[in-house]
Chain A
Amino acid sequence: MPSLRELVKTSLELYPPFIGLVCWKYRVAASALYHSLSVSTIASSIAELLTEDLDEIDIATYSGLIHDYYQKCSSVGLTAERSGEIIKMVLEEEGVRSNTINEVLESANYNIAENPRIWAGKHPIASLSIWLADTIAGATSAFTVQNNVIERLNRLGESQLKAFNSLNIGVISITIPQVALRSYMYSLAVKKLMEKYEEAVPIVARDGLVVIARDVEEPLTVDISVDEIRLEEEVINAIRGSLKAKEKTFNERFKPCKFTKGSSEKLVLDESVKSLLLNLSLLDISYEITSLYKCIFCGLPTPDPIHPASVGYVLYGRSSMERWNPKMPAIGVNLNRLMQQRRWLKEGIVACPLCVLDAITIRRDMAQTGIRAADYFLQLYFPLPTHYILAAYLSSIAFSIKTREVSLEDVISAATSPAKYAEFVVSLGQKEVMPLIDSTWAMNITTVRAEGGDEETFASLLPCLARIILFTGVYPIKLSRKPDPSIENKLIIPVHPLYDYELTKLRSQTPLVTILLSIIDRLNDEVAQRMGKEIDAEDRVRIALKYLKYPFSMYKDLFLRQRVGRNVVEAYKAFREDPIRFFSSTLNK
């Protein structure tokens, strides 16, 4: 049974960018690599739930990985025969047993993911788990998963139905408006789930976390404690020390005893918050029915008012109004005046405890990335249901691409040799981070510091964003001031008009465009070197902005400017001419 790391490596070798980044779904923008990997991980976990036979789990894993290969690879010029040869070659290189490889190739011939009954007598568990994984991974919302599965139950044989009936599918959903806080709550819930139900499978989807467990009689539920989200005492002391405000005002506004870890004082929330939590309950909290105030950030009714400046205390170490002040239209209300002295309670300008907890979570993420102010949020959308552990792994890869420098050679290796590419990506995902994966909007968020205005920040981050897509296969990526759930059918949002194209229309160009975007700030390097000039960071931003304005039809001409780009174009040509040689030339070394 392969570990997640090995599985990711195998899949990257099977799906190098020229195949893996092409969008395979018609309605959703989901790359081939990402979809296959997510089906494979879900299938292997479900098979693990149902059986202890390692061969069966192996077959489920690898069949899930290639379940669409024959069907969809024709879009990049691969016939079924050639695909079979490539799959055989790569799996043999990874040390998979020849018996398993034969079964896997057979599953691709029969398209087991759609017709599981063909294998009802031979491999009931493996075929059931591949089918279930593909059905789950095709759903657009957590609440449609059960419907989709039940509608297609007639495709199963008798032995498979028996195994299926022992499984329970549940949904855990948090719909409070604080994005960072609820992502953290999801991660706590996943931790608790793994303890409570043995080998439960948590799946990130839109609108909630789908959980699959075996032999559970009651509906699946979790309790999480708010105490784990609160701040440590040292951190609160540090905040208090950095402030200019007096001790008394700080205690009055922030109420630190409510947000210290291990404190006996309970947070008070409105009764209506309960309705925002499905199959999940918060411990260490008392609820009240009547609330006098409304939070100015999120609009929830709150019986326990906190001064809005405490959000500023937690995030920036000072009560800087400009940063956290919600942008109000000119209605003649001066928020600053309303909050002076002790008028804030009278006027009802208050924050709720949940918003302060949200700020605390963002502060943790800022400490992790090593930045001082969270000006932007980088959102990595998972368009289709994904195994939680896989989502965390991909997020950690994205995190390390963001924090370290990736050399140009590594970017070219993505185009020229699948084996090197896979090795490099796997070496990135080793660092353990706290991922903020929000399952309500199905995305991973991290904080980003601004570098100049909107346009400059975007241009300076653009190569990094393109590299994240290149190395994880997950798109779209969005850069925005506040996290939001609207997905457009695009590669990177916000984008300049040039790359403003529909992903589902221009399929085969996606990999080349991604590689171009990831080297866009270096297009002038060769010319500058010849002239004996040096390029600094500001120039790079200007260059990136300049090339973004070129019409889309000129992207190959832009490639030819640089030696790196020419190598990529030649690699693509070699791939289209003889794909088998493209794979074998790097694997056998």
Chain B
Amino acid sequence: MALQASKIPQLESRIKRVLEVVGVRDLDKLSREDLLLAMGRLLSVKTTPRSSIHEVVKELRRALELAMKMPLKMSVDEAIVRAIYTSPPFDSDALNSVYRVLLEKLLRDTINRINELGPMWRKRLLNLIVENVYNIAVAQETREYKEKIFEALKEGLEVK
């Protein structure tokens, strides 16, 4: 029985607000580059001035590897659910659920794409995705998003 992964995280107002800040307005109309940009902006919360690639994207890399190496009998949905719920990157529940929403879309997109590619290019694509997310997270223009995300989280708390 396939679990419907997209329905699992219930979107509360705080999560929606963070998603908006990150640049996601319509979850159904997300292109590949939008996803990577949004993921990078979200992970910029973890960055410090001299943070290494391992610090920032190790959870993302692990999830992607898990999904790519899934056993043959496992369905795509099941694999995605497994990958999503291993090692969350943040301490905050709200940020983690935003991360899961984005990760689920990213995994689905990636799994569709790697079908056309050979094993070497699969690995290179994974590296490219991870590196891009890191590049976006560390870039100078992403710094403002860090503050914006914190503000959005604070607003949500006051409403509660």
With a 10 A CB-CB cut-off, give which of B31, B33, B129, B141 has the most chain A CB atoms: B33
Return chain A residues, CB-CB under 8 Å to B135: 526-527, 560-562
Encoded as 1 (CB less than 8 Å from any A CB) or 0, chain B from 4 to 30 comes to: 000000000000000000000000000
Selected contact of B129 from candidates A530, A557, A562, A566, CB within 8 Å: A557
Docked CA distance A527–B32 (Å): 22
Residue of A nearest to B118 (CB): A551
B33 touches A556 (CB 8 A): yes
Docked CA distance A527–B134 (Å): 10
A559 touches B33 (CB 8 A): yes
A561 touches B131 (CB 8 A): yes
Kindly state whether residue A563 has any CB partner on chain B within 8 Å.
yes
A560 touches B141 (CB 8 A): no
A214 to chain B, nearest CB (A): 54
Return chain A residues, CB-CB under 8 Å to B31: 573
Interface size class of B (residues with CB under 8 A): 20 to 34
How many residues on chain A are close to B (CB under 8 Å)? 18
Residues facing B in A78-127 (CB within 8 A) are: none
Question: Which secondary structure dominates chain A's binding surface?
Answer: helix
Kindly state whether residue B80 has any CB partner on chain A within 8 Å.
no
Return chain B residues, CB-CB under 8 Å to A554: 125, 128
A462 to chain B, nearest CB (A): 20
Docked CA distance A559–B117 (Å): 19
Kindly state whether residue A550 has any CB partner on chain B within 8 Å.
yes
Return chain A residues, CB-CB under 8 Å to B113: 553
Kindly state whether residue B124 has any CB partner on chain A within 8 Å.
yes
Return chain B residues, CB-CB under 8 Å to A548: none
Kindly state whether residue A558 has any CB partner on chain B within 8 Å.
yes
A76 to chain B, nearest CB (A): 16
B125 touches A560 (CB 8 A): no
Docked CA distance A573–B121 (Å): 27
Question: Which secondary structure dominates chain B's binding surface?
Answer: helix
A560 touches B139 (CB 8 A): no
Kindly state whether residue A366 has any CB partner on chain B within 8 Å.
no
Residues facing A in B93-133 (CB within 8 A) are: 113, 116-117, 121, 124-125, 128-129, 131-132
B136 touches A566 (CB 8 A): yes
A560 touches B121 (CB 8 A): no
Return chain B residues, CB-CB under 8 Å to A553: 113, 116
With a 10 A CB-CB cut-off, give which of B129, B132, B141 has the most chain A CB atoms: B132
Kindly state whether residue A569 has any CB partner on chain B within 8 Å.
yes
A557 touches B132 (CB 8 A): yes
Residue of B nearest to A563 (CB): B139
Docked CA distance A139–B16 (Å): 57
Residues facing A in B135-160 (CB within 8 A) are: 135-136, 138-141
Docked CA distance A551–B132 (Å): 17
Kindly state whether residue B57 has any CB partner on chain A within 8 Å.
no
B128 touches A558 (CB 8 A): yes
A560 touches B138 (CB 8 A): no
Kindly state whether residue B36 has any CB partner on chain A within 8 Å.
yes
Kindly state whether residue B37 has any CB partner on chain A within 8 Å.
yes
Residue of B nearest to A526 (CB): B135
Residue of A nearest to B40 (CB): A560
B100 to chain A, nearest CB (A): 22
Nearest 5 A/B pairs, CB to CB:
A560-B132, A557-B128, A569-B33, A556-B33, A560-B36
**9 A–B contacts from the bound complex (CB under 8 Å):** A526-B135, A550-B121, A554-B125, A557-B32, A560-B33, A561-B128, A561-B132, A566-B136, A566-B139
